Structure 1
Amino acid sequence: MRSFLLIGFLLTLLSAHAADRPNIILIMADDMGYSDLGCFGSEISTPNLDALAKGGVRFTQFYNTARCCPTRAALLTGLYPHQAGIGHMMDDKGLPGYRGELSRDSVTIAEVLKPAGYRTYMAGKWHVTKKVNPQDADAKANWPLQRGFDRFYGTIHGAGSYFDPNTLTRDNEFISPFADAQYQPKSFYYTDAIADHATRFVADHARDHQAQPFFMYVAMTAPHWPMHAKPEDIAKYKGKYDAGYDAIRAARVEKMKKLGLLPPSWQVAPQAGGAWSEVKNREFETRCMEVFAAMIDSMDQSIGRLVAELKKQGQYDNTLILFFQDNGGCAEGMGRNGPFKPRAEKPTLPAMAATDLQPDMIPKQTRDGHPMRQGYGILPGGADTYHGYGEAWANVSNTPFREYKHWVHEGGISTPLVAHWPKGIPAARHDSLEPQPAHLIDLMATCLDVAGASYPAEHAGLKIKPVEGVSLRPALKGESIGRQEPIFFEHEGNRAVRDGIWKLVAKGPQGAWELYNMEADRTEQHNLAANEPERLKAMAAQWEIWAKRAQVIPWIWGLPHGDPLPNKKGKKGKKKA
């Protein structure tokens, strides 16, 4: 009898402890710029995210890695992406930092939180394995369920149609959205599907695992190309962008100043990507941004449904929600070149069966047999189109900064971070701006901190690399996060160091170092390299030491000082540009 009482007492303690620990939801958008949220300066309607910001904290100097796969690796592991094996994309370059697979000497947040009593869920884009069409038995070793998640719905690949995504997966099995008995909406749209499954996970958790807290990673693909949106969302933005790039950008600048996000002393980076007065087809250009805005609007609506479910289940107050983006606005010219192809009145190809899996990132056809169309002037939005929104609109998204996705100037690596947690953020901090620099590597440490979990020295019999980041929990209360080390970057030879108010940055493997005072000039308009040669030298040395430690060097782009690097066979190879 005494043993039963003791067990009951321990279970009560565990249950009480679980009730104190928050649920954690990480929501990441894809290919959005710094100013694309309403609460960060945009004209796009994002009332749900704006409400989370008003009731929480906005980090104004939060950083990603400038690209999708490395960001996901850093987010999941709390390591720099090269340490997790994904310094570039999903191909194996024969170097430890560039294997294209999430490394086994790293652990995911899910793998760390499960032993601490958390249930773990994921919905959305995975994109940290090259094995997207597995044939052999161990090909799914780096899929979500094998990296700590209890349930998964989403895509293993990095991009695809919103109306018919490739590699769509539930748990460990590919599924067709048109033959999915578990999810049959009136019409399939991937952003809705991600959010609907995230919402379902919350409801199911409340029903089946109420005694445990949960961790959920929601990886949206919106608004990454292709520019696909529902007609009713596109209609909301008809005519909204007729004034062109300069006018929209100027309006964002003014709003950012009013919000306290843009000091008047900063010189805004010049408009790039072309002049509105020289646009050949304004209907096409405005349509691109109308669809882009509609995709963000739809994502915000879906986040609103997720928040509503948290409230319904009584989980809202003790759930830490963090919203951020994987990189800056994308200037890639996807689908914008080539000849105009009018849409045929009737399908010209055989229809696909409902059970057929979509095999391609860029589908060859729609389900009903319309060929895919790309080219300048083809109005994006529908399932038979596949476009990006172009450099000039990406420059608007990244207001007030320079450069884009790929580069590590501020336009490529700056993301809003919205933190919301009613039980954990004091009311006095609501609707506040937090200027301390932070990075994706800090999210693992933050999750460990709020969950009361321990980071392992070993996992599955392997020694694990030490976590790199620091917890952001103190910043939620207005306190210092106590960062001791600079923040480092490298992608495609673009490299940077952020140390306090100073940033050292270079464009391309042969680009000269530039130095900026980020307090006075975060838009990187006044290069102080010639004025501060000793500081530049010291920070460059810091970067090189880190790069060797973090598996950046040797790297596939060639060393900054021009040394050749060994190829896979150990012979000296030519420097790669």
Structure 2
Amino acid sequence: MKRNYLLKKHWLTALLLGTIFLGTTSCTQKEAPTQKPNVIVILTDDMGYSDIGCFGSEINTPNIDHLAATGLRFTQFYNTARCSPTRASLLTGLYPHQAEMGQLAFNQYEEEGYRDDLSKNALTLAELFKANGYSTFMTGKWHVCYDVEPDGDKSNWPLQRGFDRHFGTITGSGSFYNPSGLVSGNNYISPGNDFYYTEAISDTTVKYINQHPGNQPFFCYVAYTAAHWPLHAPEEEIAKYKGTYDKGWDETRKERFAKLKKLGIIDDRCVLTERGVDIPEWKDEEMKEWQARRMEVYAAMVDVMDQGIGKIITALENRGMLENTIIFYMHDNGGCAEAQGENKSAVPLTEEQKILRPYAEDSILYGRKPQYARDGRFVRRGRGVMPGPADTWVAYGEEWANVSNTPFRMYKHWVHEGGISTPMIVHWPGGIKAANELRNQPSHLIDIMATCIDVANLDYPKQYNGHEIQPYEGKSLAPAFENKPVERDYIIWEHEGNRAIRAGNWKLVSKVRKLKKFTPEDENAWELYDMENDRSETVDLAEKYPEKVKELAELWEKEAVRTKIKPWPWNK
């Protein structure tokens, strides 16, 4: 299988990333280009804070690293802890509940914030750009509409929500060799021969760029499903990582932690959190070969995605578009601890383990798992099944999710840093003079729309397609391009009853005792952290500063009502 990707200047990328502390690059923003910029938003699926090279990983991501070395890295950028809410928030500039996507696009509740079908009173980025004269196209995962039936209501499908073209999946996760829900435009299609979804997303994006007439700017949303389970990758890509993870998760976390510090992304005040409660020391792991294979495949999935991003960069370069194209790169949530039928034994989990190790049996949240691969082979699942081929269905589990989220606590689903912290890279050679610099301003998915409106001088309509449009919530990150403050009062979170609010350097956070249940005991179960001195959330200051807890809890409650978090379905 032939793979072309960006090869140029990787020696320069390494040099720039290795000299981040020299501080020789200027923070001055360039004079704005006369032509409106193209905008590309790249979103990956179920990847942790330290899963790319320029954020501490050993995984080979030279093309993403190149964007960072010639752009900006935001070290305190946040998502919403889950795929559908993140996508809704990113697309609309609203908190997910305001976009009616409080949980996941598969279930509908009576409460307004949890109808889990993208609100018609929310304007999407595609609708915004289209109303301002842009071409719009999308590749990859949609996952923000309830009705996915071929003959059902398609009013919330991509083409009906502002995109001129779309190739990808309407639903959530699936096989990378034979994904369910694959569509072109409004029609379901079957994958072709030698199909691998990540490559198809990249190649179709390149096709869209090459076919774009060039007489108008474009907005492109690239929503990869890498590296969400199942762990699927071509064998030749997996082979590149053979032996890399034989050292185990303990040593890999330590190495990533050291690299994060060397890169300046975290400082000496940040500590490496303890290993997850259900994870043994590597020396005590009984199935080391299988465990290492799981992470080898995961790394290969990220590697192939990076190669595709290199193709996209090359396509822009070949057409002379790279200079005036803003590229945003980010992840939809933290590393995923969901197991896929890989329980270690029949021993019942403790209550604490049930909280920290969700969906220990096969999750039913994403629909029925396939019983057979496309070629008729039975799909194999469970502990000991070596992942990678099309006839396997395996996740990398809590063990490696803990590595992905280095140095933070918790995972996807929760609103501690491990669930909501993502790398964010902004690359715009024609508009940002600074290169290879870090930005520590707290920021969020809701800020992408505000930033686009600011830098591209877009008009945001109050009505669209006959619907009253909610004002967007985010703040423009353009001041941060010049390393100036982004003025904001707070950022708020809720997912499945897990709550948080960050105001300045204070973060108030809690997790429910039972999955998707909110009990009276949860109401005051707040933890308080000083994010300047304790980004890893290891020293709970709630007892020391009860007035600050009270202040932030009252603010959370007030804003929860305003942003449609409450009333919620989790206390039923």
Q: Which TM-score applies when normalising by structure 1? A: 0.86
The equivalent position to 1:326 in structure 2, one of 318, 332, 343, is: 332
Q: Which amino acid aligns with 2:159?
A: L
2:314 is equivalent to residue 299 of structure 1: no
The equivalent position to 2:53 in structure 1, one of 29, 35, 38, is: 38
2:471 is equivalent to residue 457 of structure 1: no
2:252 is equivalent to residue 239 of structure 1: no
2:526 is equivalent to residue 513 of structure 1: yes
Q: Which amino acid aligns with 1:454?
A: D
CA distance in 1, matches of 2:429, 2:553: 42
Residue 20 (structure 2) aligns with: none
The equivalent position to 2:378 in structure 1, one of 341, 362, 371, is: 371
Residue 289 (structure 1) aligns with: 295
State how 1:234-383 maps to structure 2 within 5 Å: 234-272=238-276, 273-337=279-343, 362-383=369-390
1:307 Cα deviation (Å)?
0.3
The equivalent position to 1:165 in structure 2, one of 179, 190, 193, is: 179
CA distance in 2, matches of 1:274, 1:448: 48
CA distance in 2, matches of 1:555, 1:82: 10
Residue 124 (structure 1) aligns with: 140
Residue 362 (structure 2) aligns with: none
Question: Secondary structure of 1:455's match?
Answer: coil
Q: Which amino acid aligns with 1:542?
A: L
Residue 566 (structure 1) aligns with: none
Residue 550 (structure 2) aligns with: 537
The equivalent position to 1:148 in structure 2, one of 154, 162, 168, is: 162
1:275 Cα deviation (Å)?
2.0
Residue 14 (structure 1) aligns with: none
Residue 216 (structure 1) aligns with: 220
| Alpha-carbon displacement from aligned partner over 1:478-537 (angstroms, at most 9, x marks no partner) | 222222x20000000001001111100001134410000000001000000011111110
CA distance in 2, matches of 1:250, 1:337: 26
Residue 561 (structure 1) aligns with: none
The equivalent position to 1:400 in structure 2, one of 379, 385, 407, is: 407
1:366 Cα deviation (Å)?
1.4
CA distance in 1, matches of 2:334, 2:126: 26
Given that 1:116 and 1:452 are in contact with CA atoms closer than 8 Å, whether structure 2 keeps it comes out as no
Runs ≥4 residues deviating over 4 A: none
CA distance in 1, matches of 2:375, 2:267: 52
CA distance in 2, matches of 1:57, 1:238: 32
1:277 Cα deviation (Å)?
2.2
Identity %: 53
1:361 Cα deviation (Å)?
5.5
Residue 557 (structure 1) aligns with: 570
Given that 2:150 and 2:188 are in contact with CA atoms closer than 8 Å, whether structure 1 keeps it comes out as no
CA distance in 1, matches of 2:290, 2:149: 35
Question: Secondary structure of 2:42's match?
Answer: strand
Q: Which amino acid aligns with 2:175?
A: S
Given that 2:86 and 2:445 are in contact with CA atoms closer than 8 Å, whether structure 1 keeps it comes out as yes
Residue 197 (structure 2) aligns with: 190
The equivalent position to 2:39 in structure 1, one of 11, 17, 24, is: 24
2:461 is equivalent to residue 443 of structure 1: no
| Alpha-carbon displacement from aligned partner over 1:449-474 (angstroms, at most 9, x marks no partner) | 12211111111122111100011112
Question: Secondary structure of 2:131's match?
Answer: coil
Residue 428 (structure 2) aligns with: 421
Gapped runs of 5+ residues in structure 2?
1-31, 346-365, 513-517
Q: Which amino acid aligns with 1:463?
A: E
CA distance in 1, matches of 2:41, 2:242: 32
Given that 1:19 and 1:211 are in contact with CA atoms closer than 8 Å, whether structure 2 keeps it comes out as no
Question: Secondary structure of 1:114's match?
Answer: helix
State how 1:80-99 maps to structure 2 within 5 Å: 80-90=95-105, 91-99=107-115
Given that 1:18 and 1:212 are in contact with CA atoms closer than 8 Å, whether structure 2 keeps it comes out as no
| Alpha-carbon displacement from aligned partner over 1:410-462 (angstroms, at most 9, x marks no partner) | 00000000110001111xx2110100000000011111112211111111122
CA distance in 2, matches of 1:279, 1:529: 36
The equivalent position to 2:437 in structure 1, one of 425, 428, 432, is: 432
Residue 3 (structure 1) aligns with: none
State how 1:468-487 maps to structure 2 within 5 Å: 468-483=473-488, 485-487=489-491
Q: Which amino acid aligns with 1:116?
A: N
Q: Which TM-score applies when normalising by structure 2? A: 0.87
CA distance in 1, matches of 2:554, 2:210: 51
1:360 Cα deviation (Å)?
6.8
CA distance in 2, matches of 1:86, 1:194: 25
Q: Which amino acid aligns with 1:466?
A: P
Give the CA RMSD over aligned residues.
Answer: 1.5
Residue 151 (structure 2) aligns with: 135
